[in-house]
Amino acid sequence: MKSDYDYIIVGAGSSGCVLANRLSADPAVSVCLIEAGSHDNNLRIQTPAGTITLYKSRKYSWNFLSAPQQHLNGRSLHTPRGKALGGSSSMNSMIYIRGHASDYDRWAEAGCPGWDWNSVLPFFKKSENNRLGQDTRLHGTQGELNVEAARDPNPVSQLFVNAAHKIGIRRNDDFNGEQLEGCGIYNLTQKDARRLSSYRAFVAPVLERANLTVITDCAVQSLILEQRVAKGVRVVSEGQPTRLTARREVILSAGSLASPSLLLASGIGPASELENAGIKVEHDLPGVGKNLQDHLDGLITVRSKSPLTLGFSLGSVPSIVLSPLRYVLGKKGWLTTNYVEAGGFARTPLAEALPDVQFHFVPGYRSHRGRLFEWGHGYAVHTCVLRPKSIGQLRLDRHGKAVIDFNFLSAPEDAKVLIEGLKLARRILADQQFDPIRGTEMLPGKHVQTDEQLMTYVREYAATVFHPVGTCKMGVDPMSVVGPDLKVHGIEGLRVVDASIMPSLISGNTNAPCIMIGEKAADMILRGDRSTVERHVRDHATAG
């Protein structure tokens, strides 16, 4: 295995795969993309409906557990992250959402010039291959990432959209258009009824590039630092420890949990925390691991006798048996579902001008017991707090192990928004659109009605919706980790490029923003390289 490269990218997730593509487009530059997980050549990953089997997979998921949550009855929350080429884009629900324009303007106002909406929009468009004929002022059509309509959405998903409209929530066919607010069927990152992860979109098509090396099943232990300059990484590959060196940059794209963990393991972070864990302090950077944010989710799940919904029963046996044939021959049927087919953004009575909750509607029964599969039929709505105020952290314990503490509901406002969101979801499900398949609400249950009862339910059942961000915050304040150029403060030759750099959580799913971050980072790196070359040419000419 070659051991020296121009760029080493740690993490083949949504941002890292974009970087690998763009940087390796120059044949004079060598790029190494490292993934701790395995290859993605498995039908469970490539078939959309397989996503439900991945969240607790030992092979394809990092099954992290959070610290006991003080405001959620001391529960530790399951926190899966993708463990394969494509990272979490190889196990997510493939929903293409950018968030609201104001999310990015807020980044710029927080000390991150160049990250406002007008500045990041071209990078969203660069990646996108919009197959829906949507507004070309806001969508791209020449990129690698297909954005398509769901192939064969369950008719119950349309009931949810119709019911939301009946209670006053507008229909929205493009959540990345002029307005975020409204309900509709989600657009997905798919191609030919198959998942289109960041790896499949950006790296698999360019594997023939001689200057691009992709290494799987390779665990990065720490950075190699010399005089506060990143020189490479220490890894374990095929059971053997080795060193890979980078002539230009090491780029961490391992996600909001692994990127700060690698910085801490390398002695970059809060000095007192590193000392307590017995790690040599290479650079005191107090913001590493802080500013953790995520969307907190509450579930309403209903049992129904209708075999129209996704589920396991004697009545659904024919559709289940025929689903492989329908998928292979017509790209239709159960195997095309991403489960959270419909949803949208709405304002509770607590909201001001912008939506404060997001819905993810499942046209199938979500187990009230937390099981992966449950016998029977039904439907469910997940409701999440869109702009949470609760801030957590990833820190080290005295043994040097990373502790993930979301600190959910530490801000009381979040609980109030979630309770109002659950009430709004119930109003949608109570509409007459659902009368033909009306069932029994299993969670929270009809006995849970008052705000106090709903609060008790939230503390017992609320969970993460899998959008952790912010732990290597971008900015210029004392708690920021990277600058607007994504270079780590105080360390040369090192950047962080993934969801961890977000100063604040965006209003929606995080995969598309991570791809944008990869695009913008690649552009900054390439422009910087060009400027360096041009400067060297000028200096040489002057000297001559």
- Catalytic positions, written as ranges: 467
DSSP string, 381-422: EEEEESS----BEEEE-TTS-EEEE--TTSSHHHHHHHHHHH
- Cβ contacts of 529 within 8 Å, gap of 6 or more: 29, 248
> CA 268: distance to chain centroid?
24
Measured CA angle at 410 (ends 406, 413), to 5 deg: 120
DSSP string, 261-292: HHHHHTTEE-HHHHHHTT---SEE-TTTT--B
Inter-residue contact 223 to 494 (CB < 8 Å): yes
The DSSP H or E segment spanning 31 is strand 31-34
SS (H, E, C) 53-119: HCCCCCCCEEEEECCCECCCCCECCEEEEECECCHHHHCCCCECCCCCHHHHHHHHHCCCCCCCHHH
DSSP summary character for residue 515:
H
What's the sign of the alpha-carbon dihedral 192, 196, 202, 203?
negative
CA torsion, points 129, 117, 410, 399, in degrees to nearest 10?
70
Query: Measured between alpha carbons, how far is 468 from 475 in angstroms, rounded to an integer?
Result: 18
39 φψ region: left (φ > 0), alpha (ψ -120 to 50), beta (else)? beta
Q: Is 479 helix (H, G, I), strand (E, B) or coil?
A: coil
- Cβ contacts of 126 within 8 Å, gap of 6 or more: 140, 143, 519
Between strands 128-130 and 145-147, the pairing is parallel
Q: 14-24 vs 511-543: helix axis angle to the nearest 10?
A: 30
